[in-house]
Amino acid sequence: MADKRVSLDEALALVPDGATLTAGGFAHSHQPMGFFRALIAEGRSDLSLMGVAECWVAEWLAAAGMLRKAWFSNFMFEGFGRCRRFSEGIENGTIAAEDHSHFGMIMRLVAGAERLPFMPMLSQGGTDIALLGGFEQPEDKIRVIDSPFGDGQRVTVTSPLVPDVAVIHAARADRLGNVQLGGASAVIEEQAAAARTVIVTVEKIVETDEIRRTPEATLLSALTVDAVVHLPFGAWPTGVYGYHDPDMDFLSNYYAASRDAGACSDWVDRHLRAPADHWAWLDAAGMARLLALRTDPVLGYRPAEVPA
Amino acid sequence: MSRDALMAMAAAREIRDGDVAFIGTGLPMVAAYLAKATHAPEVTLVFESGIIDPAPLELATGVGEYRLAFGATSIRGTRAALTLLQQGKVDIGFLGTAEIDAYGNLNTTAIGEYHHPDVRLPGSGGANDIASMARRSVVIARTGRRRFVETLHYLTTPGHLTGPGARKDAGLPGDGPVRVITDMGVLGFSPETQRMRAERLFPGVTLEALQEGIGFALDPPEEVTTIAPPDAGTLALLRRIDPAGTYVALED
């Protein structure tokens, strides 16, 4: 099997203007922010997102003026509040929204992944998610039908979604693209299975023999991965389970700036567009700051500081 | 007296021993740990991030937090957690909301017209799935005529939809909401209409005062009782579960 390691620049070239993306992560965990920081610095237009919980990706793309529409189920900042630039983009009509439940969004990705015309499921029926389309016609998205097997059961069916590119950040991979990640993995398996092209950024590259020792920890097989980028702290300022906590101070700093469109635009220029590359982005944060986020290997998180 | 404490107690009471409970952050998490520490030691908690049956050492402020994952018996993906709902393995789920109507339908999507909203809210997330598929659900919502409304701006999450039979027509397997826990008391639903009615009031609250905080006419109640204030033991437990009073302040 081929060596799939590429540079970050080569991976970015896989995302053209107008691409439909999906990105890994949940709340403040394992979102591929290093990749998207670099994509924002390069600049793209008219991107779409098929997302479940990659709130920071959605927000930063919106803040950079690169997001045109979103199929999604929930974007909010746990512990902070609304994704301001994303939400205001919908309010002022610059971003078109198509709403789902989490399970509804996942089942559309599964239908895409399984190459099926629809997936049956049991939630969403009877609500405006099913009855009122965003930019899709509702009947193209969700229908409630009688089971074809004549048992009288009503069942919701939902149509497939196939993103052009999935971007996932994980703990480690080998050069072939066997990918491992600890902790709650969110939706990365379904996203990677559905997308036409799968880019994975990782904290560490390991030998395939190392992967073979714990094959049960492999969430994405090399068979589904197209490009692997060695990108330490590639989720920062979100966290990576077993590696580092989210940088809540940095996230909070963005959240404060995001309340005002002008201040947010300055923040994006200064923090996201200015760094020349991933290392300059990390240098601006500083090594002490990054190392202070490392998690306790027993607890899986960085315990609150004990007062002296 | 603390209305938060009364709400947490009322929410905890909805959990039965042995239940599988689908929990988000905030007051429901505190309530679930209160139930686990009192009458429901065998409750199993499931979170939409994919964390199942954790034993965290401190209160988490997010379902994706690594400190919530500590001691879990299973950590998988979001699909695995939500599939438990569809399988009918989840007995009870808790929901919050920006708007709620008389049938317990919820809006967490948009205020104003959906395509050009005045305020865009975060969207369903797992809420629609919990309300559709958990065997029963409980809504936590502070009173107010802008929250308890006759007509939602957008129906994100199903309560009893338009009343008897509607959930079955829509293919929803769960029974829907059984309680709405407010800062003035606990509401239920009339079996005939599936519209909301008062069941239990917090100390000092009258039925009239509760109705004043609700933007639609409550169905006539069957019997309304007053909830006793929390005892010292319960307050001590709440303090231990949520030491900083992040979700449950012990004084108003």
Per the CB < 8 Å rule, is A186 touching B133? no
Concerning whether B48 is annotated as a catalytic residue, the answer is: yes
Pick the CATH number of A8-101+162-291 from 3.40.1080.10, 2.40.30.30, 3.30.70.580, 1.10.3720.10: 3.40.1080.10
Check pLDDT > 90 for residue B252: no
Residue B246 lies in a domain: no
Distance from CA of A297 to the nearest CA of B (A): 11
Confidence band for B25, pLDDT divided at 50, 70 and 90: confident
Q: What is the pLDDT of residue A142?
A: 98
| Euclidean distance between CA atoms B139 and B105, whole angstroms | 10
Asked if B124 and A74 count as a contact pair (C-beta separation under 8 A), the reply is yes
Residue B12 lies in a domain: yes
Identify the domain containing residue B27 by its residue range.
3-241
DSSP E strand stretches across A87-231: 96-99, 119-121, 142-146, 154-158, 165-173, 179-180, 197-205, 218-220, 227-230
Q: What is the pLDDT of residue A307?
A: 52
Closest residue, chain B, to A30 (C-alpha): B64
Q: Which of A88, A122, A153, A218 to mutate to test the interface with B (most CBs of B within 10 A)?
A: A122
Per the CB < 8 Å rule, is A184 touching B86? no
Residue B164 lies in a domain: yes
Distance from CA of B158 to the nearest CA of A (A): 6
Q: What is the mean pLDDT of residues B186-202?
A: 98
Domain count, chain B: 1
Residue B51 lies in a domain: yes
CATH of the domain at B158: 3.40.1080.10
Confidence band for B158, pLDDT divided at 50, 70 and 90: very high
Q: What residues does each domain of chain A span? A: 8-101+162-291
Distance from CA of A74 to the nearest CA of B (A): 5
Mean pLDDT computed over every residue of chain B: 96
Per the CB < 8 Å rule, is B133 touching A123? yes
Closest residue, chain A, to B105 (C-alpha): A127
A-chain residues within 8 Å CB-CB of B53? none
Per the CB < 8 Å rule, is A301 touching B167? no
Per the CB < 8 Å rule, is B154 touching A26? no
**Across the A/B interface, how many CB contacts are shorter than 8 Å?**
202
Strands, sheet with B20-22, edge to edge from the N-terminal-most edge strand: B74-75, B51-52, B44-46, B20-22, B92-95, B136-140, B177-181, B185-189, B196-201, B225-226
Per the CB < 8 Å rule, is A27 touching B62? yes
Active-site option among B14, B42, B48, B212: B48
| Euclidean distance between CA atoms A16 and A22, whole angstroms | 14
Per the CB < 8 Å rule, is A183 touching B156? no
Q: Which of B89, B119, B128, B168 to mutate to test the interface with A (most CBs of A within 10 A)?
A: B128
| Euclidean distance between CA atoms A200 and A208, whole angstroms | 16
Asked if B114 and A132 count as a contact pair (C-beta separation under 8 A), the reply is yes
pLDDT < 50 positions in chain A: 308
B-chain residues within 8 Å CB-CB of A218? none
φ and ψ of B128, to 5 deg: -60, -40
Residue B250 lies in a domain: no
* Residue in A28, A86, A102 nearest the CB of B125: A102
Q: What is the pLDDT of residue A306?
A: 53
Confidence band for B124, pLDDT divided at 50, 70 and 90: very high
